[in-house]
């Protein structure tokens, strides 16, 4: 099966317009306006996700663990939340939080204890090792992601951030789905 472009013609680096034109040619009347937005978003999500996983692998942490530690760190001192709060702030299921907490506890990054006054309440607290890991890793991740955005000036970054916020909120509303997960991750 032949591709639309040879690898050396330059268009293969950004074939979005060609994809839309091919669909219009092959299926006149097919709505193609979304291709110029959705296709680059999917490609960017894949590239950014892969790059983040490489940064985290070098730091010795996976995305799920960093997410857990980050939620605890952003909570402020004493860096303690219930599993219910963790689930809500991470926007993942209670079962997924339970697995993340168990793994992080085995690695000495968090501790778990029963909540006061509520028999089934479980408190999760960031340990000094977890605190150190999240501090160094977040800087690495955010510095790398800032580097990847230097193709846009600050004004363009702000404009894009606002447009993406509007688009995300509207798509979430249309789909009645307000969860946020990592790209390709299912709850």
Residue pair 118/104 in contact by the 8 Å Cβ criterion: no
- What is the rounded average pLDDT for all residues in the chain? 87
The DSSP call for residue 12 is G
For position 86, what pLDDT does the model report? 93
Task: Note the maximum CA span of the chain.
Answer: 67
For position 181, what pLDDT does the model report? 55
Instruction: Over range 125-138, report the average pLDDT.
Output: 95
pTM of the model: 0.76
Q: Is the pLDDT of residue 185 over 80?
A: no
**Nearest residue to 139 (alpha-carbon basis) of 55, 72, 51, 43:** 55
> How far, in whole angstroms, is CA 111 from its chain's centroid?
25
pLDDT tens sequence across 26-45: 999 999 999 999 999 999 99
Helices 83-90 and 94-106 pack at an angle, to 10 degrees, of: 110
pLDDT tens sequence across 74-102: 999 999 999 999 988 888 888 899 999 99
For position 120, what pLDDT does the model report? 77
**Nearest residue to 71 (alpha-carbon basis) of 56, 57, 83:** 83
Confidence of residue 121 (pLDDT cuts 50, 70, 90): confident
Q: Is the pLDDT of residue 70 over 90?
A: yes
């Amino acid at each position: 099966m032949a591709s639309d472009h040879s690898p050396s013609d330059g268009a293969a680096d950004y074939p979005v317009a060609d994809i839309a034109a091919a669909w219009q040619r092959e299926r006149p009347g097919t709505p193609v306006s979304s291709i110029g937005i959705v296709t680059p978003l999917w490609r960017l999500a894949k590239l950014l996700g892969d790059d983040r996983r490489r940064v985290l692998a070098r730091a010795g942490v996976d995305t799920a663990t960093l997410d857990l530690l980050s939620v605890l760190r952003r909570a402020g001192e004493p860096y303690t939340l219930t599993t219910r709060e963790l689930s809500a702030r991470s926007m993942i299921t209670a079962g997924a939080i339970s697995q993340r907490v168990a793994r992080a506890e085995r690695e000495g990054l968090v501790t778990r204890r029963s909540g006061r006054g509520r028999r089934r309440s479980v408190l999760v607290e960031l340990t000094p090792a977890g605190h150190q890991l999240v501090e160094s890793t977040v800087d690495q991740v955010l510095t790398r992601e800032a580097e990847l955005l230097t193709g846009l000036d600050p004004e363009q970054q702000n404009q894009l951030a606002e447009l993406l916020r509007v688009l995300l909120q509207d798509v979430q509303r249309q789909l009645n789905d307000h969860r946020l997960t990592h790209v390709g991750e299912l709850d």
